Structure formats: structure tokens, C-alpha cells
Structure 1
Amino acid sequence: MPATSKTVRRQHQPMKNIIILLAFHFSIICFGQTNKLPVPSKSFLEQIHIKDNADLIYLSKYLGKKSEKTLERFDESKQVCSAEYKFGTGIILTQNFCSESGNNVKIVFPFYPKSEIVKYVEWLFKTNENDWNNDKTRYQPKEDGNPGCYLQIKTFKEKTVLEYYCGC
């Protein structure tokens, strides 16, 4: 018995539904992706709270360091003073402590909302000496110009960037 056009359409309907479903899931994964940072344990936060490289320790432990690239060394000792680190979920941390006055850090969080970066700042940098501005894009000493850490969150379409300087 020859296939009618209705029979052919019915035979291809399940395949068409599968293709539409796969395309829908692909668009959600690719275009609606937002990441969440792993919540550190209280004991972990207590151990790293006073360390200069708390962010590097946190990201390595909870997201896994994928690569490390030396950007600059001190002239005399040849020790690394600036480096770039890549972590799971595409996070990139660039650190420069070549200056005697302090260190500069930039962390790019792809597909992370600002709210996750605010939590990150509060986990690793919270002090009684610092305050947030009204829209939680700056976290710095209450008295502007005082020594400490000055953090700024910048949001873009596909990434959120945390930049900070700690020093005197």
C-alpha cells in the first residue's frame, strides 16, 4: 500500500518534535546560562580570612585551577609578581603585586550574576572597616583614602568583573 502524505507526515512528526526539543534545550544552555559560586564552609572561611591570596585559595579549592601563566617577575629575585590563573567555569584571575604599595587583582566571572560576586566579596573580604555603596558596586574602607581593600564590581552582558586594590 503506497504511503499517503498524511502517513508520511505522521511518521516524521516524532523526529520533528525531538529536533525542536533539542534546539530549545540548546538555546537555554547557551544563551540563558548563569553560574553560581560554590558556598565555602565556615571553617574554610575562618582559615583563609587573614590571608592575602584568599581568592586564589578559594577558586583553586572549589573550582579547580586549570592553568597558570607568569606575566612578570621581580628584577632582582626573579620571583613571580604578576600572574594569570584560569579556573573551572572559565573564571580568570589576574594578579599583580609588583608594586611595593599593594596589589591589584582583576577577576572575570563569565555568566555569573552580580549577586554571586557580592556574595564572593562578603565571604572573602568582609571587614568592619569597609562598607558597600548603595548599589553594591563598590566595597571599600568607610573613610575614603584609608589603607585597605578597594573593590569594584562591573557588570557586562556575558560577564561580571571584580577589580580590587589592597594596600596603603
Structure 2
Amino acid sequence: MLRINRIFIFFFLTVSLYGFSQKKLPNPDLVFLKENKINDNALYDYFKKYIGTVSGKRNKKYYFNCKDNCLCFWEETFKNNIKFKQNTCSESGLEIRIDFLDYSKDEIVKLVNLFYKTEFNQWNKNRTSYTPIENDAGCYIDIIKVTKRTIRLTISCGC
């Protein structure tokens, strides 16, 4: 009986310590932040530099009848199972969707504040939505819990 209790305690501690640990996002350096503040590719560049890609851009879509810089949609997987999608194909502007596995909402909020914080937007009470104060043009950002372990960040910017 004592042996079974020890096995149970060991198993419980192992799952508690390692099974549900949450990852931390790296802090970008100040030069990177200054160069990328409110830049359409800021988050993509951040993940590429500080996390590292696994898949490269895939499921690409291009603007019709375009001759230069025609890529308007792609998906990419980064290390730590971060799934990134960017879409500028529609006339409404920029749309980004990022799925984070085993990251806390606080980590995602910190990331949003690093790249999108302005005097024109505000967080709601639960810090799940960051929107323009005047409900006008700008970036609308939502943090959604998709599953027990996955949080989705959606960003929609336009006029």
C-alpha cells in the first residue's frame, strides 16, 4: 500500500510540474521594438527572429493581376507549436490569427502591448479585447481560449 501511495504521489507531482507548464515568449530587444512598432509584419518578424520557423510559408495565395509583392495570404508554423496566419487579400485590411499552445493569456497580452499599445486603444475589463476607444479605424485585437491548452490571438487592422 505504501508503494502505491508513493507511485501516485510521484505521478501527481510529475504531471503537476511538467504536464501543464506554460511557456514564456522571449523579450525582443529595444532596437527591434523601435523598428517594428505598429508595423504590418512586426509579429511575423518577431516570431521569425525570436522563435524560429518550422514549416516556412505554405498555403500561399496571391493578388490577382499583380506584378510585385503579390503574396497576400500564408500560414506558417513556428517552434513551440505556434501557428501563424496572415491575410491581406481582402479590401478590409490586415488580418492575423495566431494559435499558441501552452502559453498563458498574460504572455499574449504582454505581446500585444509590446507591438500594438497606443493611446487610441484600450483593453476591456478581462483583457481579452483591445479595441479603438472611438470604435473607429485601427486595430481590433481579441484573445480567445480555443481549447484548454490553446489561446488564439486575432488581429484585424483597417480603415
Q: TM-score, normalised by structure 2?
A: 0.85
Distance 1:54 1:30 in 2: 32
Distance 2:17 2:58 in 1: 30
Q: How many residues align?
A: 151
Between the aligned partners of 1:152 and 1:101, the Cα distance in structure 2 is 17
Q: How does 1:9-158 map to 2 (within 5 A)?
A: 27-28=15-16, 31-67=19-55, 68-77=57-66, 79-144=70-135, 146-155=136-145, 156-158=147-149
Partners of 2:17 and 2:89 in 1: CA distance: 40
Aligned mates of 1:30, 1:84 — CA distance in 2:
29
Q: Specify the SS of the correspondent of 1:66.
A: coil
Compute the displacement of 1:74 (Å): 1.2
Task: Deviation per CA, 1:125-150: give whole Å up to 9, x if none.
Answer: 11111100111000011011x11100
Residue identity matched to 1:84: E
Within 2, Cα distance between the matches of 1:140 and 1:100?
20
- Percent identity for Structure 1 against Structure 2: 38
Bigger radius of gyration, 1 or 2?
1
C-alpha contact 2:76 2:83 (8 A) present in aligned 1: yes
- Structure 2 gap ranges (5+): none
2:155 corresponds to = 164
Q: Secondary structure at the match of 2:76?
A: strand
Higher helix share: 1
Give the drift of 1:41.
1.5
In angstroms, what is the RMSD of aligned CA positions?
2.2
* AA in 1 matched with 2:62: R
Q: Per-residue CA shift, 1:7-47, capped at 9, x if unaligned? A: xxxxxx9xxx89x85x5676346621211101112221111
Conserved 8 A contact 1:70-1:80: no
CA distance in 1, matches of 2:39, 2:82: 21
Alpha-carbon separation, structure 2, partners of 1:165 and 1:51: 13
> Which residue matches 1:9?
none
Instruction: Kindly provide the CA deviation profile for residues 31-70 of structure 1, in whole angstroms up to 9, marking residues without a partner as x.
Output: 2121110111222111111421100011111100112203
4+ residue runs over 6 A deviation = none
Segments of structure 1 that go 5 or more residues without pairing to the other structure are: 1-12
